[in-house]
Structure 1
Amino acid sequence: MEHPTRVGNRLLAALPPADFGLLAPHLRKISLERDAVLVRSGDPIEQIYFPESGTIAFIMDMPNGQTVATAVIGNEGAAGILSALGPSRSPMTAVVRVTGTALQISPARFHAAFSQSRAIRHVVQIYTRALLAQFQHVAACNALHSAEARMARWLLHIRDRIDGDFLPLTQEALSELLGVRRTTVTHVVRKLRASRAIRSNRRGLIEIDRPRLEAAACECYEAMRSRIDRIVSPEGMKPRIHAPPVHKIPRAQDPLLAQVDEAEPDTRTQGATSERSRGD
């Protein structure tokens, strides 16, 4: 069986070969299908996803039924990674917004490698810091800036994580990003089209003009992009990333892994099809 030696996910790519080797035999390459729900708020986290392409949005579900995006991630991040600290339920819903691929691993398998490798623990720490920074900045931006500026910011965040200026986003997805009604989305899109930041708005597909969209966005876009890029950059990973993994612990002493070996669940994500990952 072949396993990946080079990957498109920046977190995994930052790991030294020996540390990545702890994860490689258990990673599966899957397709991320548009609008697929990877995990719902309150559900147990059964898989961890490391996107190589495409975009995943983290959505907060409010008690009154409203939803709003709190972050978007691409190949610089992961979904479900906090389960490495122990079995947990997802605090938010993770939805695929742009089709792509990801490497998938069970929390128990990841936890076993996490326990053995200081480098993996460092990557989780670095990424958690980046994600918290995005959560905090989005909260401040939502309170201070207009819907038009926030829409431009979200579109730019998504554009940074895909190839091309055509963004496959429905009105429902845009409504979820902003946390507003569809009528408000229509009004905001109309204003962005008038400024030519959006050149067209065909059904489920938005074509953007990046320079004009940057002009329409609030200062949060550049601040968030620079901050996250700095945190997850190779330089940001350096301080402890080259530390050697600790000695492997026997399987019998790892209760989480023992449970998986006895009966590993065959979990399949709705809308996501999987296959064994192969090296380049």
Structure 2
Amino acid sequence: MVEHATRVGNRLLAALPPADFALLAPHLRKVPLLHDAVLVRSGDRIEHLYFPCSGAIAFIMELPNGQTAATAVIGNDGAVGLMTALGPHRSPMTAVVRVAGTALQISPARFQTALERSPALRSLVQLLSRALMTQVQHVAACNALHSVEARLARWLLHIHDRTDGGGDVLPLTQETLSELLGVRRTTVTHVVSALRTSRALKSSRRGQLDIDRQRLEVIACECYKVMSRRIDRIVSQDAVRLLHAAPARSGCPPPDFPFAKTDS
């Protein structure tokens, strides 16, 4: 399983039984996730599903008055565009790459075909939905109950968790922080200044935040650890247990799982 997970990259795809993953593998294309790239906009038809292998993607809710707020951040523990598993669907939110990385991309039609043949894939959709709903619910409660400083520390930790060893400098602008928090940029300026005073931020150069993770963990509300534990349980322990409990497919998988050509 460890070798398989290393090759696949996305934790939930790696948890699939080999025969079920083999239904997807020929149609998965490894693509770059470029910083600030918009993978899908709210209201647009979903053209591709993305299973991140590295990097961080924020789901953004856009209100009619133009205000925006982040509702979740995912990395190799999630997917973008999974609503297509329920049929042709327009995206309810915008997905933006906040930390560059890579993803496995597949068309909705190819994914739907595999889904119809694989009980384990149907369990995968349920797991991903649970993980995302868990995060969205926690974010809503956190926004209502905790200070802006604690919420920013939580978001920075969630994003840092998904940088895959990329160091302590996060490529986040004040505009992005405003979007994550759902507050004005003037408020972001005050919050960043407060975190620098407490030394949770070592520096805040334009477009970059150099964090002190230990100090952020002290400032962050309890939501960070609670959310991390629950989501990790869903995408690791629950994933392996439920996916491998699904009725087995007949036939033997090929010895390896070559992906389609990687975009350069």
Q: Same fold (TM over 0.5)?
A: yes
Identity %: 69
Partner of 2:215 in structure 1?
212
Q: Indicate conservation of the 8 Å contact 1:116/1:247, yes or no.
A: no
TM-score if structure 2 supplies the norm length?
A: 0.90
Change (3 A) 1:93 1:213: same
Match of 1:171, as an amino acid? Q
Superposition CA RMSD, Å:
1.8
Q: Distance in 2 between matches of 1:43 and 1:235?
A: 32
Match of 2:198, as an amino acid? S
**Residue from 184, 187, 202 that aligns with 1:184:** 187
Change (3 A) 1:235 1:135: closer
**Does 2:232 match 1:229?**
yes
Q: Distance in 2 between matches of 1:148 and 1:227?
A: 23
Change (3 A) 1:211 1:105: same
Q: Distance in 2 between matches of 1:240 and 1:102?
A: 21
Match of 2:244, as an amino acid? I
Which digits, 9 at most, give the CA deviation of each residue in 1:138-187, with x for residues without a partner?
00000111111100000000011112211111111111000111111110
Q: Distance in 2 between matches of 1:34 and 1:119?
A: 32
Q: Distance in 1 between matches of 2:221 and 2:213?
A: 14
Deviating 4+ runs (over 6 angstroms): none
Q: Distance in 2 between matches of 1:119 and 1:152?
A: 36
**Residue from 193, 196, 211 that aligns with 2:196:** 193
Which digits, 9 at most, give the CA deviation of each residue in 1:47-82, with x for residues without a partner?
000000000000000010000000000000000012
Q: Distance in 2 between matches of 1:121 and 1:176?
A: 33
User: Counterpart of 1:64 in 2: which secondary structure?
Assistant: coil
Q: Indicate conservation of the 8 Å contact 1:42/1:91, yes or no.
A: yes
Q: Distance in 1 between matches of 2:68 and 2:242?
A: 38
Q: Distance in 2 between matches of 1:88 and 1:241?
A: 28
Q: Distance in 2 between matches of 1:106 and 1:50?
A: 12
Partner of 2:80 in structure 1?
79
Partner of 1:263 in structure 2?
none
Q: Distance in 2 between matches of 1:166 and 1:6?
A: 27
Q: Indicate conservation of the 8 Å contact 1:166/1:206, yes or no.
A: yes
Change (3 A) 1:182 1:218: same
Partner of 1:268 in structure 2?
none
Residue 240 (structure 1) shift: 4.1
Residue 222 (structure 1) shift: 0.5
Partner of 1:12 in structure 2?
13
Q: Indicate conservation of the 8 Å contact 1:123/1:237, yes or no.
A: no
Residue 203 (structure 1) shift: 1.1
Q: Distance in 2 between matches of 1:34 and 1:245?
A: 39
Match of 2:53, as an amino acid? E
TM-score if structure 1 supplies the norm length?
A: 0.85
Residue 6 (structure 1) shift: 2.5
User: Counterpart of 1:233 in 2: which secondary structure?
Assistant: helix
**Does 2:86 match 1:101?**
no
Residue 276 (structure 1) shift: 1.6
Change (3 A) 1:245 1:110: farther
Q: Indicate conservation of the 8 Å contact 2:203/2:211, yes or no.
A: yes
Match of 1:189, as an amino acid? V
Match of 1:276, as an amino acid? K
Q: Which runs of 5+ in 2 are unaligned?
A: 252-259
**Does 2:249 match 1:276?**
no
Q: How does 1:150-169 map onto structure 2 within 5 Å?
A: 150-162=151-163, 163=165, 164-169=167-172
Q: Which runs of 5+ in 1 are unaligned?
A: 249-274
